[in-house]
Structure 1
Amino acid sequence: MLHQHAPAVPELGVAPFRTGTEAAHGVAWLGPATVFPQPVGLAATWDEDLITRVGQAVGHEVRAKKAADSGVSLNVWAPVVNPLRHPLWGRNEEGFSEDPHLTARFATAFCAGLKGTDSSTWLTVPTLKHFLGYNNEHDRSLTSSNLRDRVLHEYELPAYRQAIEDGVAGAVMLSYNLVNGRPAHVSDLVNQHLRAWTNGEEITVVSDAGAPSALFRAEKYFPDAAAAYAAALKAGVDNFTDDGDNPDPSIAYLEEALERGLLTEEDLDRSVTRLLTLRARTGEFDDDGGSLTETGAGTPDAGKGALDAASTAALAREAARKSVVLLRNQAQSALLPLGDNPGSIAVIGALGQRVLSDWYSGTLQNQCGIAEAFSRRYKDVTAEDGLDVIALRSARTGTYVGLPPSSETTDDAGVLVADKASPAVGEHFTLKDWGRGEFSLQSGLTGRFVAADGDGYLRASADRIGGWVVQETFRLLPSHDGTVALQHVASSKWVRVESGTGSLVLASGLEAAADRFVPRTIKSGHEAAQAAAASADVAVVVVGNDPHLGGRETLDRDTLDLPQSEQELVRIVRDANPATVLLIVSSYPYALGALADLPAIAWTSHGGQELGPGVVDVLSGDTEPTGRLPQTWFARDRDLPDILDYDIIGSESTYLYTRAEPLYPLGHGLNYGKVQYIHAVITGEIPGKFIDVQVTLANHGDRVAHELVQAYAAAPAHPYDFPRRLLVAHQRVEVAPHGSSTAKLRIPVERLATFSTVTASMVVEPGEYVILLGSSASMLPVSVTFRIPDGGRQPGRMPGTWVPARLYDATSNMDLVPARPLSGTAIAPANPSAPARAVYRTWDGQPITAVHCEVLSARAARSLGGCSISVQTSGPAGSWLQLGQCELKEGYSGEVRIDVDPSGLPAWTASGTLRLELRGDVTVHQLKVS
C-alpha cells in the first residue's frame, strides 16, 4: 500500500488504488475535460469564490472520470502552492502568487472546491505541491534552497498552512530539491510543521515521481535504497512514487529496511493508516461507495460526478474573462474598450489563432481562439499569423522537401521526402521562431507540425507542440552561403537526406555531418503583418509563449525579454498602425522595454478553452476588466536575484524587499472607469487582533469601476528588516460612474508579525506602522498610521544559553547545512576560499568574557591559510571591531572558546551585536556567550 500503485487486498475487500490525478486547472491526462485558465491566471482574478467554483467543477469531473474508469484516483495532485518567488522559474504558470498569504488564500479556495461541500464524504482529496523551497528547474534534484528561519516562517510555510489548518487539504507532495542541504524527502520540517497544523486530523505525504530513488542515486545522500526509504518513511513520507507503476522495488526496499532494523512495523502501520484514511474520506469503504449530497455541478446527478457541459463552459468563460489584466490604456486617447463599432480589426500573431495547452492540461474541447472570438463579436475581422512560409530545398540533391503522395490525399503522416522538382509541388512550411533558437515547422497541407518519430524520421504528424520531451522543434543554423542546417532540439541530432529514399532522418555526429538546406521564402510574415495592420482601423497583436517551450517543468527561462521575433512583430504592427493593442498570452511575466509605451496593453495566461471569448469580452467592453496581477512584472533582468538565491531578505527580492522600479507591480490592473482614492481613516480596533480601515473612492469616468482596494503595511522604524511593502488585506468594491463608494478592510494584526531570531517565534514588534491603500503595491495614494503599544522590553539572547547558529540576522557567503544527516541545521561557508560571516543581534547581559562555538567540522582552505573563527562586534559608522579569534586544527570538531579582550573597546551593552567570521571550511552548529 505504500507505493503509488497499490495492489488489491482481496481478503480485506480492498480494491487496487493509485495516488495522483493531475488537476492544476482541470483534469489532466485523462482525455477531454474542461480546461480552465492556468493557475497564475486563476490567481489574476483575485476571486476566491470563483476559484472555489472552478475547484468544485474540476472535482466533479474527476468523479465523472472515476465513474467511467475505476482506476482513476480521487487523490488529486493539485494545487501548487510554491510562492512565485522568481519570475524565471519554469513552472511559474502552475503557482498562484508571489505573495505567500495570497497563495494560501487561493490554494485554500481551490482545495475547498476540490473537497466539496458534503459533510462526510470528500469529493476528492487535494494534495498541496511541492514542500518546500522549490522555485528552480535546473538541477532541481541536486540544488539546495537556503531557507533562513525568517524566510522559512514568513514566506515559505504560510503558503501551506491555511489549507491544512482549514481541513481542506488531505495530502502534501514533497519537492525534488534539498532544503538547507538536506533532501526535502527526508526533511525534519515535515513532521515539525505540516503535521502540527492538522488539528488532530491525518494528512498523507506523498513523494514526487522518482524522488525516492534520487536519494541514493542522483543525490547520493544515502548509501543504498533501504536506508533511503527508511529515512524517508520516518521523516514523514507515506507513499512512494517510484519505478513507474511497478511497486515491487519499493516494497523490496522497505522489507529490507525492516529486516535491517531501520524500520519497525509501527512505522509502516502509521503510513498505511494515513493512506487508508485518505481513501476512506472519499467514501471508498462506505456501503454506497461514497454517495455525495452536494449538487453544485449543474445537473440532478451532480453528486455522482456527472457534469453539465454548458455550465462548465460558462464557468470557464467567466474565469477566462476575469483573469484578463488591463496593463495600460493611454488616457488621452484610450483605445479600449473597443465598443460596438470599432471599424475593421486585424488580429495579428500566431497566438491569436491557436489555443495552447500546457503539460498539466486536459484535452481541449470546444475551444475558441482570440481571432475566432473577435470574428464572432465583430463583422470586419481579419487574422494574420505574421509568420514566414518557406520551402526547403536540399543543397546536396537540389530537390525540395515534400510529403509523400499518401499524405497529400489521406491523413497518413508519411515521412518527409526531398524529392520534389520545384517549390510549386513541394511542401510549404509555416516557420515559427519561439525564442532561444527554437523553431517549429508546420505543414501547409495538413496543418500539422513536423516531428521526429521513434525511428528518427521526420513526419508532419503532430497536432500541437507538446509532450514531456518536445519532438516538434528544431534549430536552424545558417551558413555564409545562405544554407541552413536543421538540428532537432530534443535529440541534438542533425537532419539528413537519406540516401536512396530521400527521406528526412535524424543522424548523430557533428554539424558537418548534417545536410544543408536552402530556405525559399514563399510568404513574408512581416510584410503580411504590416499590410494587415495598415489596412485595419485597429490592430490587435498577440504575442507570448508556448507553455512547452522556453520555460516549463525541467526548464527555467534565461531572460524576461520577449523573443526578438515577437518584439519585431510588435514593432512592425505598431509602426503600420498607431491604434495597436498589444495582447500578451503567457505563462509568466515579460520585460517589454520600449514596447511598454504602446497605447494599450493587456495580459492573460493561457486561458483554456474559453480563452478567445474571455479576452474579447473584456477588450470589447462587454464586461469590465477586473483582473489584477498576482506577481510583479520586473522591467529588466538585472532587477532579479540569482534564481538559486532563496534568501529574499538578503537578496532584496520579490515585491516585499525589492528596490527596483517594476514595470508593473503586484496587484496592478486598470479599470475602464477613472478611480481616485480620496482618503482613509481607522474606524475601529480590537487591540492585538484587528485594525479596521475605511477608504473612500470616487469614479470620474463614465463606466462602472470594479476596483480592487489593496492594503499594504510598512514600518520604517521597525527594529528588523520589515518588508518595504506587505500585502495585509484587499477588498473588491464597485464604484458607479461619477459616483463614490467606500471600502472597508479588516487588517489582522498578526499579519504584521516577523520571525524573531531571539525568541524563535513570530512576534509583532511594538512601534509605528503605516497602512498604505491603493490599486497596487506601487500606487498607494492614501494611508493611515497606528502604533502597536510597547508591552515592555523584549528579552535578548541570554548569556549561557546556546543559540542555534542558523538563527542569524544577516549573512554573507554563508550556507545552511545539515547538522546531522536527518536533523538540525548548521552554518558553513558557501565558498570556503573566502571569509563567511553571520550577524547575531540583540544580546542580553553585561560585557562578555568569551564566545563559545560548537564546531562540527573544520577543514583548511589553502587560499586563506588555514581555518579560524573570529568574533567581532559592531562599531561606529558601520564598522566591525575584533573581539577575539580562534585558530582551528584540521579535522577538529567540538566546542571552542574564544576569549574576548574588551580593552580599548566600547562597553558591550544589552543591545550588542556579534558577528562570526569563518575562514576555511568550518561548520558551526550553535554558539553562546559567557
Structure 2
Amino acid sequence: MVLADLTLAEKIALLHQSQPAVPRLGLEAWHTGCEALHGAAGLGRATVFPQAVGLGATWDRALLTAIGEAASTEVRAYRHDPPEGAPPASLNVWSPVVNPLRDPRWGRNEEGYSEDPLATAELAIAYCTGLRGRHPAVWRTAPVLKHFLAYNVETERDIVDVIVPERVLYEYELPVFLEPLRAGVVAGVMPAYNLVNGVPNHVHPLLGRALRAVKPDVVVCSDAQAPSNLVERERYFATHAESHAAALHAGVDSYTDNGTDPAPTIERFTEALARGLITEADIDAAVGRLLALRASTGEFDPAHDPYAGTRRDVVACDAHNRLAARAARESIVLLRNDGGALPFTDRSVAVVGPLGGRVLRDWYSGTLPYAVTIEAALRDRLGPDRVIAAEGVDLVRLVAPDGRQVHAGPDGALSLAEGPGAVFAHQDWGTSVQCPDPVHTLRSLDHGYLTADDDGVLSATAETPDGWVVRELWELHPALRNNGSGLYVSERLVADSDTPDLELRLERVADGVAEAVAAARAAERVVVVLGNDPHINGRETVDRDGLALPAQQEELLRAVVAANPDTVLVLVSSYPYAIDWAAANVPAILWTAHAGQEQGNAVADTLLGASNPGGRLPQTWYGADTKLPAPLDYDVIGAGWTYQYHRGTALFPFGHGLSYTTFGYGPLTVTHEDDGWVAALSVTNTGLVPGDEVVQVYATPRDWPVEAPVRRLVAFERITLEPGETSEMRLPIPEWVLSYWHEGRLNGPTGTFGFTAGGA
C-alpha cells in the first residue's frame, strides 16, 4: 500500500542509497549499506571475528551461522540503540563477499571464503542464515552478496573488461551467487565495478537472466559511484540519463552514487523519464523491491519486531567474545610440523617479528573491544620471565643533508633541528601492482606513526596505518614521498611538493636483525611472527605484484633460523605466501588470517597444545617457481587456475592442514537416493588426543566431453572426535557440482566418476 501512496517524485527519491523520510506516510529516512563482513563494521566498538578468508579456513558451517547471528545482533543493537549523535545502523548489510579466490594476488583476498565455488557457496549460506535470523517473517538483517560478477582485480577495477568463457561463468562464477539465493537467505546482490565480456556489471543482462530468474524480488544495490562510472570512467553511455535508465532496466534498484547527496540521481531519473527512456512502472518495480526489503526487517510493524528490544549491551558481550575465541582457534592451519616440533612445552621463548606484539584490523573491521597479542598470550601462559620479545625492525633517525634531524615534540609535531632527533621503527613492506617502489612505515618510539594530514603537514601521531587513503606510507627516492598523496616532503616538513627538494635519509641507530638474532640465541625456542598489514600492499584498490614475503621479513626469518633452528614460523596474513625456503627449513609453520581480538590466545593455545589445530587451507599456496596466469586471465580451466585445473605441485595444496592427532577413513560409497546424491563413510580418530577433522570428498569426472577438473570438491564437513571415536557420515552432494556446462546448458550428473575422501 505504501508504494501506491507515494508521488512520482517521492518514488524517484527512494532510488538513491540515502532515502529521504516521507513524514506524511510515516516513512523514516533510510539508507542501504552496513558492513558486516566478519562482524559489525563501521559502527564503532564491535566483536571482531577472523577475516573472511580465515572463516573460510574453518570449513565450519555451524560456526559461520553463529557468527552471522552475533554480527547481525550487534548491527541490530546499533539500529535500535545507537550512540548519542549517531544515526541508526542500516539493517541492509553488504555482506558476505562470495567472489571465489581465483588469484591469491587479489588485493581483497582477505574478503572471500575460498577458491572453491562449493565451499564458498556453502559458507555464504551458513553466514547469511545467521545474518537473516530464524524468525519466519522478520529478518534480523538483510544480507547483500558482493560483488557480481567475476571480480578479482583491483587494478583499474572500474574500467577493466574481463573475458570469462561461458563454461567458467556457469561452473565457477555464478554458483556462489545462485546457491545462496536458492537457499532463501539473501535479500540482495551488489554488482562489481568491472565489465564482463564487454558489458559493465551494472547493466549486465545476467542480473535479470541469472539472478532474478532464481529470486524475482532480489534487490540489486549498486557499488559506490558505479552508476556515474558508466559515463565518467567506462564511457559506456553518452549521458547519465541513458546510463541510469539502462541500469534500471537491467535490474539495479538502489543507487549508491555521489555520497549522501541524492540530487544528481533524482535529476538523472527525472530526465530519463521525460525522455521516455524509462516508465513509471520501471520505477515502481525497483521501489517496490526496496520497500519490500525494508518491510522484511520489521520496520513497518515495529510492534511485532522480535528484535526491537536489542540494545548495545550485547556488543562484545561474553558470549560473543567466547565465539570470537572459538573462531580464532578454528581458523588456524598447521602447515608444517616436522618431527613433532609442535606443540611445545614451557620452555623459554623468543617472540620475534613485527606482528608478534600487534593485533591488526582491516578496512572492514569494527573497533576492537580488546586485543590479545601473541606475545602477551605467551607471557600469560609461560610467565613474563620466560618470554623475550624483539620486533626485528631497524631503528632510524631522519637526517637532512645539512645534518639537521627530524625532532618530535610532546604532541608528535615535527621540526627540523640540530642534534639527535626522534627515533623511528622502520619497516619496509615491499611493492605492489599500484606502487612498484617499496613503501615504508616509520613509527616514532615515543608517539605514533609518521603521517600527513589533509594539508600534507607531517606529524608522528597516527595510531596505525589506516583510512581509505593510507597517509602513513612513505616512499624513499631518497627524498621522502607520501604514498597517499604522491607529494614529496618539503623543507617545512609538509608533503606538498611535486619535486624531491629535500633529501631526508634514514640513519640507522639500531639493527633490527641483530636484535632478533640476539633474542633467538638467548631463548630455547623462537616464534617468528610475520605477515602483512591489511592496509598495506594487498587491500581494496591495491593488488599484490607477487607472492613473496617482503624482503625485510624474509631476511629476518633466515637470520633467526640460522641463530636458533628450533624455530616456529607463525604467518598472520590476509593471503598466501610463496614461502619455499621456510617450508624446507623451518620445522613448524602455522598460518592464521588476521583473527581479531582473540588472535593471541588462539595462537598461543595452539603452539602449546591446549588447542588442536583443525583449520584447512581455503586456497592453494603456490610455490615461488609457479608461473601464475595473468591476473586478467579468468579462464580457470584453460589457464590452470585453482586446485581443480592446476597441473603443477602446490607448495601447500587446497584443503591442506595438519593435526596433533591422526584420522582413519573407512570405505567410501556414493549413491543416488530419493533426496539426491550422498557420500557415506566412517572416520575414526586414531590418535591420542581429541581433534577436528575436515572431511573432504572429491570427484574426478572420467568421460566428460569437455576438459574435466583434476578433482572437484563435492562435499565436506568439519567434525570433532575424541581418541578412538568413530563418526558414521552421510554427506549430501549437490547435483550442480557433478555437472558441466556444454552446448548452452548444465549437463549432468552424467558419466562415470572417481570419488576420493580424506582430510585434504
Work out whether the TM-score is over 0.5.
yes
2:452 is the counterpart of 1:452? yes
Q: What residue number does 2:10 align with?
A: none
1:772 aligns to what? 756
| 8 Å CA contact retained: 2:398, 2:506 | yes
Tell me if 1:363 matches 2:380.
Answer: no
CA-CA distance at 1:27 after TM superposition:
1.5
SS at match of 2:599: helix
Instruction: Give the alignment partner of residue 747 of structure 1, picking from 706, 713, 733.
Output: 733
Show CA shifts across 1:861-885 (max 9, x none): xxxxxxxxxxxxxxxxxxxxxxxxx
* Unmatched segments (≥5 aa) in structure 2: 1-13, 432-437
Q: Map Cα deviations across residues 351-410 of structure 1 (whole Å, 9 max, x no partner).
A: 1111111111111221111111111111111211001111222212x2221113xx2xxx
Larger radius of gyration: 1
8 A Cα contact 2:425 2:444, kept in partner = yes
**1:6-47 residue CA offsets vs partner (Å, 9 max, x unmatched):** 111111110101000011111212111111110000111111
Counterpart position of 1:217: 232
Aligned to 1:538: 525
Aligned position for 2:636: 648
Residue 508 of structure 1 corresponds to 497
User: What residue in structure 2 maps to residue 686 of structure 1?
Assistant: 673
Q: State whether residues 734 and 741 of structure 1, in contact with CA within 8 Å, keep that contact through their aligned partners in structure 2.
A: no
Contact 2:63 2:327 in 1 (8 A): yes
State the SS of the aligned residue for 2:320.
helix
The equivalent position to 1:628 in structure 2, one of 612, 616, 622, is 616
SS of alignment partner, residue 144 of structure 2:
strand
Shift of 1:735: 4.7
Paired residue for 2:325, among 304, 317, 320?
Answer: 317
Structure 2 partner of 1:795 = none
Q: Which residue of the partner structure matches residue 432 of structure 1?
A: 427
**Which runs of structure 2 are paired with 1:379-390 in the superposition (5 Å)?**
379=383, 380-390=386-396
Task: Report the counterpart of residue 59 of structure 2 in structure 1.
Answer: 46
* Matches of 2:144 and 2:399, distance apart in 1: 52
Q: Would you say the 8 A contact 2:60–2:718 is kept in 1?
A: no
Q: Per-residue deviation at 1:158?
A: 0.5
Compute the displacement of 1:2 (Å): 0.3
Deviations 1:456-514 (A, max 9, x none): 1210010010111100011223xxxxxx422211222222323xxxxx22242333x2x
In the alignment, the residues of structure 2 paired with residue 121 and residue 685 of structure 1 have an alpha-carbon distance, to the nearest angstrom, of 36
Counterparts of 1:67-82 in structure 2 under 5 Å?
67-69=80-82, 70-82=87-99
AA at the equivalent of 1:112 = T
User: Is 1:596 the equivalent of 2:578?
Assistant: no
In structure 1, the residue corresponding to 2:699 is in which secondary structure? Answer: strand
Name 2:401's counterpart in structure 1. 395
| 1:22 maps to 2:22 | no
d(CA) in 2 for partners of 1:308, 1:188: 42
Pairwise CA distance, 1:774 = 1.6
Question: In the alignment, what sits opposite 2:191?
Answer: 174
Q: Secondary structure at the match of 2:553?
A: helix
Change (3 A) 1:554 1:688: same
Q: What does residue range 69-108 of structure 1 map to in structure 2 within 5 Å?
A: 69=82, 70-108=87-125
User: How far apart are 1:775 and its partner, in Å?
Assistant: 1.8
TM-score by length of 1: 0.77
Q: What SS is found at the alignment partner of 2:441?
A: strand
Q: What residue in structure 2 maps to residue 585 of structure 1? A: 572
Q: 1:704–1:625: structure 2 CA closer, same or farther, 3 Å change rule?
A: same
| C-alpha distance in 2 between matches for 1:145 and 1:93 | 21
Q: Specify which of 405, 416, 434 is matched with residue 418 of structure 1.
A: 416
- Check conservation: 2:736, 2:749, Cα contact below 8 A: no
Q: What is residue 11 of structure 2 aligned with on the other side? A: none
From 220, 226, 241, the counterpart of 1:226 = 241
Check whether the contact 2:245–2:269 (CA below 8 A) recurs between aligned residues.
yes
1:215 alignment partner, SS class: helix
TM-fit CA distance, 1:689 = 2.9
Query: 2:141 & 2:275 partners in 1: Cα distance?
Result: 37
* 8 Å CA contact 2:395, 2:512 repeated in 1: yes
Instruction: State the shift of 1:128 in Å.
Output: 0.4
Give the structure 1 partner of residue 292 of structure 2.
277
Q: How far off is 1:119 after superposition?
A: 1.9
Secondary structure (helix, strand or coil) at the match of 1:21 reads coil
Query: Are the aligned partners of 1:392 and 1:518 in contact in 2 as well (CA < 8 Å)?
Result: yes
2:695 aligned residue (706, 709, 716): 709
Answer 1 or 2: which has greater helix percent.
Answer: 2
* Per-residue CA distance 1:550-585 (angstroms, 9 max, x = gap): 111111110011111111111111111111000000
Amino acid in the other structure paired with 1:387 = V
* Structure 1 equivalent of residue 276 of structure 2: 261
Partner of 1:164: 181
Cα shift at 1:687:
8.0
**Cross-structure match for 2:8:** none
**Counterparts in 2 of 1:846-925, with a 5 A limit?**
none
Could you give the per-residue CA deviations for residues 509-546 of structure 1, whole angstroms, max 9, x where no partner exists? 333x2x22343322211011001111111100000001
Contact 1:342-1:538 at 8 Å conserved across structures:
no
Question: Residue in 2 aligned with 1:893?
Answer: none
What is the CA distance between 1:695 and its match in structure 2? 4.4
Q: Following the alignment from structure 2 to structure 1, what is the Cα–Cα distance between the partners of residues 128 and 576?
A: 26
- SS at the partner of 2:638? coil
User: Counterpart of 1:813?
Assistant: none
Match of 1:474 in 2: 474
Change (3 A) 1:246 1:507: closer
1:733–1:743 CA contact under 8 A, matched in 2: no
Picking from 356, 376, 379, the partner of 1:375 is: 379
Q: Distance in 2 between matches of 1:123 and 1:243?
A: 29
Task: Report what 2:9 is aligned to.
Answer: none
Go from structure 1 to structure 2 and tell me whether the alpha carbon gap of 1:287 and 1:110 turns closer, same or farther (over 3 Å shift).
closer
Check 1:688–1:166 CA distance in 2 against 1; reply closer, same or farther (3 A cut): closer
**CA-CA distance at 1:688 after TM superposition:** 9.5
How many residues are treated as equivalent by the alignment?
A: 734
User: How well do the aligned residues superpose, as a CA RMSD in angstroms?
Assistant: 1.8
Whole-angstrom distance in 2 between the partners of 1:366 and 1:391: 32
- CA separation of 1:228 and 1:112: change in aligned 2, threshold 3 A: same
Give yes or no for contact 1:718–1:767 (8 Å, CA) kept in 2. Answer: yes
Identity %: 45
Greater RCO, 1 or 2 (C-alpha within 8 Å, sep 6+): 2
Which residues of 2 match residues 752-767 of structure 1 at below 5 A?
752-757=738-743, 760-764=744-748, 766-767=750-751
Q: Does residue 662 of the first structure (1) align with residue 677 of the second (2)? A: no
Work out whether residues 46 and 315 of structure 2, in 8 Å CA contact, stay in contact via their aligned partners in 1: no
Taking structure 1 as reference, are residues 667 and 13 closer, same or farther at Cα in structure 2, changes over 3 Å only? Answer: same
Partner of 1:29, secondary structure, is coil
Read off the aligned partner of 1:185 and give its amino acid letter.
H
In the alignment, what sits opposite 1:492? 486
TM-score normalized by structure 2?
0.94
Residue 203 in structure 1 maps to residue 218 in structure 2: yes
Contact in 2 for aligned 1:291/1:304 (Cα 8 Å)? no
Matched with 2:341 is: 335
Write the distance in 1 (CA, Å) between the matches of 2:505 and 2:120: 51
1:42–1:681 CA distance, 2 compared to 1 (3 A): closer
CA distance in 2, matches of 1:730, 1:336: 27
Q: Does the CA-based 8 Å contact 1:710-1:775 persist in structure 2? A: yes
User: 1:733/1:65 Cα in 2 relative to 1: closer, same or farther (>3 Å)?
Assistant: closer
Q: Cα 1:662–1:506, aligned 2, differ >3 Å: closer, same or farther?
A: same
Output the CA distance in 2 between the equivalents of 1:253 and 1:117. 40
Higher strand share: 1
Matching residue's letter, 1:752 = L
**1:772/1:626 CA distance change after superposition, 3 Å:** same
Superposition deviation, residue 694 in structure 1? 1.6
Contact 2:475 2:481 survives alignment (8 Å): yes
> Which residue number in structure 2 is paired with residue 56 of structure 1?
69
Q: In structure 2, what is the Cα distance between the partners aligned to 1:303 and 1:473?
A: 39
